[in-house]
A = this chain, B = another copy of it.
Amino acid sequence: MEPAVHKSWRRVFHNLHRAFIIPKRNSSGWADHAAASPHSSHVKSTLLVSRLYQPSNLRDMGLDSQVAGEMSCKSQRLMQQAGLIHPSNPGCYYYLPTAVRSMEKLIRVIDQEMQGIGGQKLDMPSLCSADLWKASERWDLMGKELFRLKDRHGTDYCLGPTHEEAVTTLVAHQATLSYRQLPLLLYQITRKFRDEPKPKFGLLRGREFYMKDMYSFDVSEEAAHQTYESVCQAYTRLFARLGLRCVQVQADTGNIGGTLSHEFQLPADIGEDRLLVCGNCSFSANVETLSSDKTDCPRCSTGSLVESKGIEVGHTFYLGKKYSHVFEATFSSAQNKLTTAEMGCYGLGVTRILAAAIEVMSTEEEIRWPGLIAPYQVCVLPPKKGSKVDEASVLAEELVQTLGEALPCLRGEVVLDDRTQMSIGKRLKDACRLGYPYIVVVGQGALEETPKFEVICQQTGETMFLSKDGVLDLLGKVETL
């Protein structure tokens, strides 16, 4: 029925277990929670791994989850295995519930950083009229990368891969901006479309993806450069908060246009971009921008350039008046003269950042997340049913309860792996693969006079044996959004 779908997925989801927040139905219909407090914003029930919509059986999964005809990579394989994504059409993926949790957190961090520099969030249509794209001459320039369609009246549209035309028209039709009102920074986080000739690497190069695109309007070239700089700084802060090493490199402006451009690259072997980084100064550039045989640094002239590969996760462009001229986006200057605005545009690949982070942080077998955007922060493992330490089960449930009540930052962030028909070892392996930042094993130690819990910090690799208070202390420091 669906040609691009994988039979291997059937295997992956063999013995699939589900989790959601609630409800074992009781005789009266739905679980108590739903009736209890419709106004409560926090779900009180325990999150159970057995009810999470993700494969429970990670150990038995085949490792060959390659999409038919597409090149695969580590993050794609790990994300499919863990039930984060599921392939649909070529270059298109279902984002499954665990991935959606992570993506919503990532979007919150991006919102904070964009609003922190004055960005205001809007939302522009995906259907973009051909007339707009013809005005900017990109209707022809974009060639086959543009998904095109006609409506029932035969009018031409494309599916927006980026929105310079749309946002500039919007601002142009709100006339008589004053210079006092600039800079104006508008951004959106929406689904974008690009008919890639060869979609590959899962979310790293898809045909339908989420992007944050921001557009700035300024009074002068100097002011526009200041805005440009502040956006670059916000990007740098963003990647620092995610714990990702990111290089800002001089880049080509491509078909977006403009005269100044930088890429934000995460160094990675599978990266499709070739970077030249100076060993001596801070200079770095995409190979595209340099004559290819260059080995001396053009800035410090003493250093030599070393090549590495990178995944482009962000891109900034100083556009000047390229679009504002065409669409007449003007403002009234201090001299009360109508003046064309200076523009910039700034992209972040939202779904690409998610996959790239997993690509650079994970091992071949185990997902590692930037802590801030891990889908869940903590997984608690009670002992196996019928084992010698079975009676510690109740302590595990109590711990989950206490964490939820005592630590507001962990509300909705703690899951209990209730698949107690499986050994602790097997479940621990699953938890490691899924990459919960903290795993708490409730075993033998929990039955001692002063109960001890085994806490594994996956980010650092440390294992600690802590009292309940110790666990609360440690987990109380976890940064969440």
Bound complex: CA of A83 vs CA of B316, how far in Å?
28
CB of A127 within 8 Å of the partner chain: yes
Min CB gap A35→B, angstroms: 9
Complexed CA–CA distance, A172 and B173 (Å): 48
Question: In the complex the two chains form, is A122's CB within 8 Å of B96's CB?
Answer: yes
Interface residues of A in 110-144 (CB under 8 A from B): 112-113, 115-129, 131-132, 135, 144
Q: Is the CB of B173 within 8 A of A10?
A: yes
**Contacting residues, chain B, for A21 (C-beta < 8 A):** 115-116, 118
Cα distance A122–B52 in the bound complex, in angstroms: 12
Query: In residues 163-178 of chain A, which contact B (Cβ within 8 Å)?
Result: 166, 169-170, 172-178
A425 to B374, CA, bound (A): 50
In the assembled complex, A230 has its CB within 8 A of some CB on chain B? yes
What's the least CB distance linking A356 to chain B, in Å? 18
Number of chain copies forming the complex? 2
With a cutoff of 8 Å between Cβ atoms, the chain B residues found around residue A96 in the complex are: 122
A4 proximal to B (CB < 8 A): yes
A2 CA to B165 CA, complexed, in Å: 10
Interface string of A274-285 (1 = CB under 8 A from B): 000000000000
Contact B181 A38 (CB under 8 A): no
Of A149-157, A251-259, A431-439, the one touching chain B: A149-157
Quick one: closest B residue to A109, CB to CB? B41
A88 within 8 A of B: yes
Q: Least Cβ distance of A213 to chain B in Å?
A: 14
| With A13-B173, A122-B97 as contacts: A38 and B116 at CB distance below 8 Å | yes
- Stretch of A22-30, A362-370, A450-458 on the interface side: A22-30
The residue that A117 contacts in the complex, of B22, B166, B169, B226, with Cβ under 8 A, is B22
Q: Contact check, A126 vs B208: say whether CB atoms are below 8 A apart.
A: yes
| Interface pick from A184-192, A338-346, A396-404, A466-474 | A184-192
Most chain B C-beta atoms within 10 Å of own C-beta, residue among A97, A101, A234: A97
Residue A59 CB within 8 A of the other chain: no
Q: State whether A124 touches B88 (Cβ < 8 A).
A: yes
Asked if B117 and A30 make an inter-chain contact with CB atoms under 8 angstroms apart, the answer reads yes
Complex Cα distance A90/B66, Å?
A: 41
Contact sample, A vs B, 21 pairs, CB 8 Å cutoff: A1-B132, A1-B328, A2-B173, A3-B131, A5-B173, A16-B175, A16-B177, A17-B181, A18-B184, A20-B119, A30-B226, A30-B233, A34-B117, A38-B113, A38-B241, A41-B108, A41-B481, A52-B120, A127-B208, A149-B159, A151-B207
Other A-B pairs beyond A16-B176, A94-B125, A95-B124, 13, CB < 8 Å:
A1-B326, A5-B173, A13-B173, A14-B176, A25-B226, A30-B117, A30-B226, A33-B116, A39-B479, A89-B129, A93-B125, A100-B121, A126-B208
* A-B CB proximity, top 8 nearest: A13-B174, A149-B149, A92-B125, A95-B123, A97-B120, A18-B181, A144-B152, A20-B118
